[in-house]
Structure 1
């Protein structure tokens, strides 16, 4: 789609709005690989992190950290120690949750088939409440155990990023080769191209729109995906 190129250029020209203000080193190869393709545009990424998030409970009996007005007591993209977490918890005055969040990447895709090439999701994460209203609810021994588990997940996450990059690189090469072969076939076989177009038209079901109804800016064939590190290839 012709409009995708200018939109991609505009998006990539924006200032980095993340807390870090730049790409995570481990996520950079995947981001650059995708942005080097005309049909993809990354919008945000994180290579994986361990965080202590403090917030207020929704009510007196519920333990759910609200994103609004929450604060980060600790954030690291590397394995950490139990003592680091305990030191950060000393600053706690509200409800604190320990989280491990794996590699995540948000991507705009030009066509639906491009999105299908990338669709990957994962449950490789961890989320455990540690304190309530500033009071630590678990033992230091349990926190050491949690950090051990979180560090193992971090190490596995690093391996998955590397595996994802290699599989994505191969998939893009195969896709480019397939598209090239298809274009040659269509160029020399007009009848094949006519049948393919007719099939696509017959298979398209679009709900009717009112005479005054217009497409929203985001209501097009571009697709936004969440891509996580777990990939069973």
Structure 2
């Protein structure tokens, strides 16, 4: 626990090394929720983005930009228009790819069960490519990912290879993915908040054995009280108590408590 706490403090004290240099607004709530818990520490995040990247592009099946030897002509964490893309393409001199990259989050976890909780919530929220890795030193990292991405080549050696009409269609598709991405982040945050509260409640609740012992103690107290009352009750009082309204059904209830 102490080692994890120290590691977390060191990580959170580091300067933001991302291109933006700050936390994305769309991911801030989730990041703050996790970092506010002692057992978690976020190491990187992106709320989701639309980008035009020139050179150094990843393969067609990849959802991640290869940052080496590439130029970002446009990047936005919100929806965009065809005009935004066309303006950025005017600066193109090489091969340009339009990409939508969904929400991604990496979280350092204190124990494996913590990572499993996050993975379960992530998958239920729509991030079905989420997974857990365990390093040689025992470092446990849970990654929230999905395949909800898009990657389409637009130009080659600076020459536009598709029509403006097709670009407009691509932007519509990308914006729809951005909207769905936002819904999934919101769903993830709400389910994560609930799961963390339930986990705390479960840890603070009495154990099954404790509840069992408490139940036995209560029944023994009831039995002792009934027997003491019976000893101090005169035959006359007992006869008066056995009126029609205090019939067999009432006595059976008392007997049931004693037996239990």
**Structure-2 separation of matches of 1:66 and 1:16:** 19
* Structure 1 residues 158-180: Cα deviation after superposition (integer angstroms, max 9, x where no partner): 11111110000001011111222
Alignment of 1:81 with 2:81, yes or no, is yes
Picking from 195, 199, 207, the partner of 1:171 is 195
Alignment of 1:143 with 2:167, yes or no, is yes
**Structure-1 separation of matches of 2:70 and 2:154:** 15
C-alpha change, 1:26 and 1:85, in structure 2 (3 Å) is same
* Number of equivalent positions: 184
Q: Which runs of 5+ in 1 are unaligned?
A: 190-233
Counterpart for residue 185 of structure 1: 207
Counterpart for residue 23 of structure 1: 23
Contact 1:56/1:94 (<8 A) preserved:
no
Counterpart for residue 134 of structure 1: 158
Counterpart for residue 39 of structure 2: 39
**Structure-2 separation of matches of 1:13 and 1:187:** 43
Greater radius of gyration (CA): 2
> Offset at 1:138?
0.9
Instruction: Calculate the TM-score normalised by the size of structure 2.
Output: 0.66
* Structure 1 residues 19-45: Cα deviation after superposition (integer angstroms, max 9, x where no partner): 111111111110110000000000111
Counterpart for residue 54 of structure 2: 54
Across the aligned residues of Structure 1 and Structure 2, the Cα RMSD in angstroms comes to 2.2
C-alpha change, 1:57 and 1:102, in structure 2 (3 Å) is closer
Counterpart for residue 139 of structure 2: none
Counterpart for residue 94 of structure 2: 94
> Offset at 1:67?
3.4
**Structure-2 separation of matches of 1:91 and 1:158:** 30
Contact 2:57/2:97 (<8 A) preserved:
no
**Structure-2 separation of matches of 1:66 and 1:34:** 28
> Offset at 1:103?
1.1
Instruction: Calculate the TM-score normalised by the size of structure 1.
Output: 0.73
Contact 1:53/1:71 (<8 A) preserved:
yes
Secondary structure of 2:26's counterpart equals coil
**Structure-1 separation of matches of 2:208 and 2:10:** 33
C-alpha change, 1:41 and 1:92, in structure 2 (3 Å) is same
**Structure-1 separation of matches of 2:57 and 2:32:** 39
Secondary structure of 2:108's counterpart equals strand
Equivalence map 1:65-80=2 (5 Å): 66-80=66-80
Larger relative contact order (C-alpha < 8 A, sep ≥ 6)?
1
Counterpart for residue 7 of structure 1: 7
Contact 2:48/2:181 (<8 A) preserved:
yes
